[in-house]
Amino acid sequence: MPMIRNGLRTRPKGTRPTPAGTAAPAIDADLLRTLATLISDSDLAEMEIEKGDLRIKLVRHTATSHAPAPQVTTPMLVAAAMPAAAAAAPAIPAAEHPGAVKSPMVGTVYRRASPEAKAFVEVGSTVKAGDKILLVEAMKTFNEIVAPRAGTISAVLVDDGQPVEYGQPLLVIE
């Protein structure tokens, strides 16, 4: 499932997203607004709510200053409700780079060993194969991400403390 930054996706539990052109499920706009306010007022990175057979998952890009904007998987509703969120989701060209290092798991990415430490790497850092470049935490399991090859960091695609999806590009080594 793709990550939706600053996003909110809703769909009935156990179903696939509604294909374009079919009837969209009824979405309570007040509910969405309430949830968006709730997560923006909190420091939660992710929130999942079930009500009847409706399941709503909010995932926040915690390190940015944008307020989380609802986005719904149903194309009609995306267009009608949240053009801003749709505009925020273009693919990052660097992510397609063959030197992109991808997340081995769903979790939270850290660029440093502790809040006071300096980042493992910055854009321009030279690394050799096996150097620690990031950490991904999932349920208190901390996973070192090491450079698969020697090179120079040409792009860092994540912020400290950001939630990441499985396979999401994290940075680029050239």
Partner 1 sequence: MLHPVARSLGYRLHHHASLGSTNEEALALGRAGDPGRLWVVADRQTAGRGRVGRAWASPPGNHYATLLLVEPCQPRLAPQLGFVAGVALATALERLAGAGHGIAIKWPNDILCDGAKLAGILVEGGSVPQGGGAAAFSAVLGFGVNCASHPTDLSYPATHLGLIAGAAGTRDALFAALSATIVDALDLWDRGRNFAGLRRAWLDHALPPGVSLAVVRQGARHVGTFRSVDDDGRLILETGSGCVTVEAGDVFLADRDTAAAS
Ramachandran angles phi, psi of 149, nearest 5°: -155, 165
CB of 78 to partner 1, least distance (A): 23
End-to-end CA distance of the chain: 28
Does the protein bind partner 1 through residue 106 (CB under 8 A)?
A: yes
Question: In this chain, which stretch among 5-13, 69-77, 88-96, 104-112 interacts with partner 1, using CB under 8 A?
Answer: 104-112
DSSP H stretches of helix in the chain: 29-41, 75-81, 83-87
Binding residue for partner 1 (CB under 8 A) from 25, 95, 138, 154?
138
Does the protein bind partner 1 through residue 137 (CB under 8 A)?
A: yes
Does the protein bind partner 1 through residue 45 (CB under 8 A)?
A: yes
Whole-number Å distance between alpha carbons of 106 and 136: 8
46 vs 122, which CB is nearer to partner 1? 46
Does the protein bind partner 1 through residue 46 (CB under 8 A)?
A: yes
Binding residue for partner 1 (CB under 8 A) from 24, 38, 86, 95?
38
How many of the chain's residues bind partner 1 (CB under 8 A)?
Answer: 43
Does the protein bind partner 1 through residue 54 (CB under 8 A)?
A: no
CA distances from 137 to 54, 78, 91, 121, 142 (A): 29, 31, 24, 17, 4
In Å, how far from its chain's centre is CA 60? 7
Does the protein bind partner 1 through residue 80 (CB under 8 A)?
A: no
CB of 35 to partner 1, least distance (A): 8
Q: Strands, DSSP E only, in the chain?
A: 7-12, 46-51, 54-59, 100-102, 107-110, 126-127, 132-138, 141-146, 151-156, 162-164, 169-173
**Residues in contact with partner 1 by the rule CB under 8 A:** 34-35, 38, 42-51, 62, 104-108, 110, 113-117, 129-130, 137-149, 161, 163, 166
